[in-house]
Amino acid sequence: MKILVTGNAGFIGFHVVKCLLERGDSVVGVDVVNDYYDPTIKEARLRILEETSARTGSAYVFLRQDLADQQGVDDAFREHRPERVIHLAAQAGVRYSLENPHAYVQSNVVAFTNILEACRHHRVKHLTYASTSSVYGANTRMPFSEHESVNHPLQFYAATKKANELMAHSYSHLFGLPTTGLRFFTVYGPWGRPDMALFLFTRAILAGESIQVFNYGNHTRDFTYIDDIVEGVIRTSDDVARPNLAWDSDSPDPATSNAPYRLFNIGNNDPVHLSEYIEAIEEALGRKAIRERLPLQPGDVPATYADCTELEKAVGYKPATPVREGVANFVAWYREFYRV
């Protein structure tokens, strides 16, 4: 199968493409490779994908393309004719959206419009795209369920991803484009993003520097290991979205539709206190952290917890990697990559 994957130089996109190549799919990767964080790690990921293609014999093409360029996106689809699309490219980061909201409009709204239009006009059989647990915003009923409304985002980043879900539904309804949105819960693991807590904490502890522990350490997160995310992404991409024939417009379910549209959580379904997460890092490093306890940051959500019942029912899979195991794998990778 020929699959176009956006954001393939990014953390999740890299792992998804590598897995697809290893199972024998033909992949077209698209990424602008911006400098939101150090491009060195992105270029290293891209080299590994080239090596994986050569080792497996799976066809792989990489396009260094800005998805906000409508003509460039259309040209890519016209030339490569993907059967399915996995859209993982986005401007990520909660706090950066307070500083540079326009970057989120370009990367998360304009680019997604271009992807939807290309999928529509080039008759893509299924679009799977990344959303985020951040869309739950002010919701407090735990665990978070796709069947609850998410109309109170706490950051602009979350608002753009909620917009993606609404935009996808309109294309599913108007043009019959099957779409599946995936709400990721705090993804971590080898080759992760340098702006995320695990990366920042590991670097600081090794350097003997203090780590910033916001909300005085009272966060809980549904930390989800990268391999579990990848398995969920690929399984849902393989399982094309269909209309829910039992959908009732008098009592509309936000997670499905009478159009070929659906939403899934992908989380570990096992929230972990931030202090336990830090202890796992300390254990893997063999060093203690110096903790600087600070107030809750603007836009932060105190707790996340994923209900993954629908994902398990649909594709027979539920993330389950223990945090200590996942953190140890990250630390081993970090030490090897940075030679520390």
* Whether 16 contacts 23, CB under 8 Å: no
Residue keyed to tokens 């994957």 = 5
**Strands 261-266 and 179-184, bridge-based pairing:** parallel
Provide the 3-class DSSP secondary structure of residue 296: coil
What is the CB neighbour count within 10 angstroms for residue 147?
13
CB 56 within 8 A of CB 22: yes
Tell me the C-alpha distance between 84 and 96, whole Å. Answer: 31
Q: How many CB atoms lie within 10 A of CB 166?
A: 9
- Token reading at 1: 């199968």
How many C-beta neighbours within 10 Å does residue 247 have? 15
> What's the farthest any 2 CA atoms get from each other in the chain?
59
Q: What is the CA radius of gyration of the chain?
A: 19
- Cα of 293 vs its chain's centroid, Å: 28
**Does 157 qualify as catalytic in the annotation?**
yes
Among candidate residues 37, 96, 136, 157, the one labeled active-site is: 157
Residues belonging to the active site = 157
